[in-house]
Amino acid sequence: MEISLEGKVALVTGAGPNIGSGIALALARYGAKVACNDIDPAAAKTAVDRIERNGGTAIAVPGDVTDEEQVTGYIARVLEEFGQIDILVNNAALLGGKGVLDESTEFFDRAVRVAALGHFLNTKHVGRHMAERGIRGSIVAISSSNGWSGSAGVIAYAFHKGGVNNFVRAAAMDLAPYGIRVNSFTPTAPTPDNPELIKERGAGGVLDRPRAHGIGGETGDEEWRRPSRWTGQRAPLVPMGTTGTPTDIGHCVAWMCSDYARLITGCDFVVDGGARAKNFAYAPAPASDLAGPLPLIPLDVTGELDRELA
């Protein structure tokens, strides 16, 4: 089975340096022309540069996913440049935050708005474009393990990722009559593999450098406070020893958007080495004792920089 997205055009929101960039690169490497959106124009341009270094075709379409005028504006720019949109990846989101006792109203509101309006506005307007033109396209929403199970310290993130999961199922029902498929992909703390991000932050991810408070911020210091998570030394509880990289995510999303997945809609896909499937009481062996997965099939093949940073 040789996946090809030749002739297709993709729009990826939140195409920042980690997951968004990895998905955008994958779609381009499998043959799609890609429009990279981010609220930060520099981040969108960097994603485009990475695609072009790897022989793909891409444009930057910066804009705020919560502003309907900006959303319709960058969609129009994609249509002007490429003529159509066959694939939409809703990735824009705010990571981090704090727990329910400490989160601010302002951050909670912004985080939920980015996810809610970002998914709604992009799906609505790209979906209308597809339906009007008879394009039986693919829409993918990026969820999170935090949308399926609870984790302390990220109440806004958990709230909006949980909402994403049912948005996908409902949108899949709305768009099924048009042959448009809507699915979600659930990452679990992937290890960055973008050479530029590794150069900036160093190799490894949260499994290698666990944070005392998880992905959330600090808690208060009142005397009545109780700890919400384990902070001692403990091996990551992943059955295969690794949750993968954005490249692993990209391979799966590209397949989800291909014609081989023509009847798959309203579903969630997970690439995480078994992390989500694990029973809470099951403690896997340390990664050093495991066989691990097969070698990664790379997508970023820019050469020396990759080897220098490996």
Give the active site residues: 144-145, 157, 161
Question: Which among 168, 126, 99, 110 is positioned nearest to 35, based on CA atoms?
Answer: 126
Instruction: At 188, give phi and psi (nearest 5°).
Output: -140, 95
**CA–CA distance, 287 with 283 (Å, rounded to integer):** 12
Report the run of H or E that residue 221 belongs to, with start and end. Answer: none
Nearest to 44 by CA among 74, 88, 83, 4: 74
Closest CA to 20 of 3, 34, 32: 34
Count the Cβ atoms, other than its own, within 10 Å of residue 238.
21
C-alpha 106/C-alpha 235 separation (Å) is 35
- HSE-up (13 A, CA, CB side) for residue 308: 7
Cβ(145)–Cβ(186) below 8 Å: yes
Q: Which amino acid is at 2?
A: E
Which residues sit opposite 90 in a β-bridge?
141
Task: Specify burial of residue 17 (Cβ count, 10 A radius: 0-12, 13-18, 19+).
Answer: buried
Give Cα 27 to chain centroid, integer Å.
Answer: 13
One-letter amino acid at 219 equals T
Which token pair is 56?
């793909």
Tokens of 196: 């530029």
